[in-house]
């Protein structure tokens, strides 16, 4: 509120308030008393608003920046800046922060500074946001018209009826999307060029202050990308990369970056409505140290150097260099015993999988991500396939399924009937494994059996999978077939 002539404005305001109070049936004396009380409150508010000095501590005053990115679309930003603050009541502005900030998580730390109020301004400067503040008010439009071989500037004034779409009344006419340039005497104070945190705070003494703001934000995430390159025989090389994406709406320049793997319950935040962003790609090959444990359930990977993470950028950072793993190629076919099916005959997909133990000397926890498998050829590297893996602790097995086998097929036949007046179901299953290739193949047959069941007979020794069913491992010579059969009785 601006009061260029406080005495005149105060007298006018006092008269207006007294007249309005009298309109409610109060006598003159009561009206003057009530208006005096109201004016005292307003005067106190005006005084406080005038005393609060606007101080902006911008990105150029930043002294340190730390960003912790979780693999659950969440980031923790610690932004330290320094500026000279005058004493008294301040409106402290912190521009250039994340647009997807969780307002309830923001905090400010500074010596001898007492915060009494916090605000998050994310309605940014733009034509639509500016016009929405001028609804029902007069706007000036100007445009250039050609007259006699030269251009003249034509001015006209109209009342803004709607901001989106732009509808303006010029005298007796109403125009939608009128031509011309809009001239404004001022910009609304509440609109900011970038998302901004504001604090109303009291400062004891005029001097330089170190200000540390912390907040959580959506739009920061990462996942692991692994390259598994198959060599000769059973050896392969595994390289780990971290794929970090920034869709938070802010740039993080020269930041100390830490990546955290593990489940974190994040605060509820509104889901952004914006379309999926297009990211710029950047790749950096500085290795990270072995992850450190954060408590018992999280692991932190610290980038060894300062790095910049720009908005709408995807950055690749190397988690660890190539290391040798002992690899096993597997063929797996999965079937399901159908309770109630009298007779069925169906082909079963045979999946190709590559497995290795995450248990060598330099083993470290593997965050969830995508494993891309390649094979080195004589002339070029060939892509074999890819699959996602969940988080893998040290000592656990990693299995990557890359696609279907070309030369191995499995045909599954099931014949069944009900027993015990419909209270049980007996199923007899035959699995025929056909190898059309030039080498013998070792195939694992996994059979899922629902409910409570009992094995009646089988043609080959099986291994029981607790809570799942049975599995068989068969070796099929080149160009031949192998048959495996079993029978079970199931009860719901």
For residue range 290-306, list pLDDT tens digits in order.
565 565 678 888 999 99
What digits encode the pLDDT tens for the residues 151-202?
888 888 888 888 888 888 888 888 888 888 888 877 777 666 678 888 999 9
Q: Average of pLDDT values for 363-372?
A: 90
Query: Do 256 and 304 form a contact (C-beta atoms < 8 A)?
Result: no
pLDDT value at position 45?
47
Cα 306 to Cα 356: distance, rounded to the nearest angstrom: 34
pLDDT digits (tens, 9 = 90+) for 388-397: 999 998 889 9
Q: Which tops the pLDDT comparison, 125 or 442? A: 442
Closest CA to 154 of 138, 178, 176: 178
The whole-number pLDDT of residue 48 equals 43
- Sign of the Cα pseudo-torsion (296, 299, 300, 304, in order): positive
Q: How far is residue 325's CA from residue 357's CA, in Å, rounded to a whole number?
A: 8
**Residue 443, strand partner residues:** 331, 474
Q: Which of 430, 437, 233 is nearest to 325 (CA)?
A: 233
Contacts for 453-456 with beta carbons within 8 Å, 24 or more apart?
453/337, 453/488, 453/489, 453/490, 453/491, 454/488, 454/489, 455/486, 455/487, 455/488, 456/426, 456/486, 456/487, 456/488, 456/489
User: Taking the model in full, what pTM does it have?
Assistant: 0.71
H or E stretch covering 63 = strand 62-70
DSSP assignment letter at 270: P
C-alpha radius of gyration, the chain, whole number: 36
Strands (E), 231-379: 235-246, 252-261, 280-284, 292-294, 298-302, 307-309, 313-326, 328-336, 343-348, 350-357, 369-376
Three-class secondary structure of residue 77 per DSSP:
strand
Task: Summarize the confidence of residues 29-49 as an average pLDDT.
Answer: 52
Residue 362: other Cβ atoms inside 10 A: 9
41 contacts: CB under 8 Å, gap ≥ 6: none
How many Å apart are CA 197 and CA 211, to the nearest integer?
Answer: 12
> For tokens 């793997």, what's the residue?
261
Contact call for residues 348 and 333 (beta carbons, < 8 A): yes
> Please, which residues bridge with residue 79 across strands?
65, 213
In angstroms, the CA 168 to CA 161 distance is 5
Establish how many alpha carbons lie within 13 A of residue 188's alpha carbon, considering only the half-sphere containing its beta carbon.
17
Q: What is the pLDDT of residue 444?
A: 96
Please report, for the chain, the start and end positions of each structural domain, with discontinuous segments joined by +.
6-51, 127-183, 330-349+402-491
- Dump pLDDT digits (tens) for 59-102: 999 999 999 999 989 999 999 999 999 999 999 999 999 989 99
The pLDDT, as a whole number, for residue 103 is 85
384 neighbors 402 (Cβ within 8 angstroms) = yes
* 148: Cβ contacts below 8 Å, ≥ 6 apart: none
Whether the CB-CB separation of 103 and 293 falls below 8 Å is answered with no
- In sequence order, which residues have a C-beta less than 8 Å from that of residue 197 and are 6 or more positions away? 93, 94, 97, 101, 106, 108, 118, 119, 120, 121, 213, 215
Pick the CATH number of 330-349+402-491 from 2.60.40, 1.10.10, 3.30.70, 2.40.160: 2.60.40
In sequence order, what are the residues at sequence separation of 6 or more whose Cβ sits closer than 8 angstroms to the Cβ of residue 339?
A: 416, 425, 427, 450, 451, 490, 492
8 pLDDT exceeds 80?
Answer: no
Q: pLDDT averaged over the chain?
A: 83
How much is the pLDDT for 388? Answer: 94
Percent of the chain at pLDDT > 90 equals: 47
pLDDT in the model for residue 232: 75
pLDDT at 35: 57
CA–CA separation, 446 vs 416, rounded Å?
19
With pLDDT > 70 as the criterion, what percentage of the chain qualifies?
81
320 vs 286: CA distance, rounded Å:
9
- Spatial separation of the C-alpha atoms in residues 373 and 229, rounded to whole Å: 6
Task: For the chain, give the number of residues.
Answer: 492
């Amino acid at each position: 509120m601006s009061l260029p002539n406080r005495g005149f404005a105060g007298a006018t305001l006092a008269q207006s308030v007294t007249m309005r109070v009298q309109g409610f049936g109060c006598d003159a004396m009561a009206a003057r008393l009530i208006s005096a009380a109201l004016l005292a409150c307003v005067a106190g508010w005006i005084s406080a608003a005038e005393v609060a000095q606007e101080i902006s501590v911008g990105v150029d005053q930043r002294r340190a920046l730390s960003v912790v990115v979780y693999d659950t679309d969440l980031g923790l930003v610690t932004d330290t800046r320094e500026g000279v603050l005058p004493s008294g009541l301040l409106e402290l502005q912190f521009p250039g922060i994340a647009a997807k900030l969780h307002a309830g998580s923001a905090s400010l730390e500074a010596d001898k500074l007492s915060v009494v109020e916090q605000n998050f301004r994310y309605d940014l400067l733009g034509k639509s946001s500016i016009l929405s503040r001028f609804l029902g008010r007069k706007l000036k439009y100007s445009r250039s018209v050609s007259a006699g071989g030269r251009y003249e500037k034509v001015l006209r004034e109209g009342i803004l009826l709607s901001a989106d779409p732009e509808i303006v009344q010029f005298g007796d006419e109403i125009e939608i999307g009128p031509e011309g340039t809009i001239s404004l005497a001022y910009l609304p104070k509440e609109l900011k060029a970038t998302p901004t945190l504001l604090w109303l705070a009291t400062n004891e003494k005029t001097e330089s202050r170190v200000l540390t703001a912390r907040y959580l934000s959506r739009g920061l995430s990462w996942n692991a990308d692994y390259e598994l390159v198959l060599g000769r025989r059973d050896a392969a090389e595994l390289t780990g990369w971290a794929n970090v994406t920034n869709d938070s709406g802010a740039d993080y320049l020269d930041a100390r970056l830490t990546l955290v793997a593990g489940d974190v319950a994040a605060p509820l935040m509104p889901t952004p409505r914006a379309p999926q962003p297009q990211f710029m790609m950047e790749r950096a090959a500085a290795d990270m140290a072995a992850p450190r444990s954060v408590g018992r359930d999280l692991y932190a990977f610290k980038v060894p150097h300062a790095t910049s993470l720009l908005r709408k950028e995807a950055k690749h950072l190397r988690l660890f260099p190539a290391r040798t793993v002992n690899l096993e190629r597997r063929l797996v076919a999965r079937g399901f015993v159908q309770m109630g099916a009298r007779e069925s005959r169906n082909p079963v997909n045979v999946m190709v999988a590559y497995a290795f133990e995450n248990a060598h000397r330099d083993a470290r926890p593997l965050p969830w991500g995508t494993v891309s498998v390649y094979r080195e050829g004589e002339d070029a590297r060939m892509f074999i396939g890819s699959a996602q893996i969940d988080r893998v602790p040290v000592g656990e097995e990693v299995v990557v399924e890359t696609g279907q086998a070309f030369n191995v097929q499995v045909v599954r036949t099931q014949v069944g009937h009900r027993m015990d007046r419909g209270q049980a179901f007996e199923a007899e299953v035959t699995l025929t494994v056909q190898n059309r290739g030039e080498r013998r193949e070792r195939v694992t047959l996994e059979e899922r059996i629902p409910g409570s069941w009992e094995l009646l007979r089988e043609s080959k020794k099986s291994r029981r999978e607790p809570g799942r069913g049975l599995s068989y491992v068969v070796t099929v010579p080149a160009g031949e077939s192998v048959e495996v059969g079993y029978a079970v009785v199931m009860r719901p």
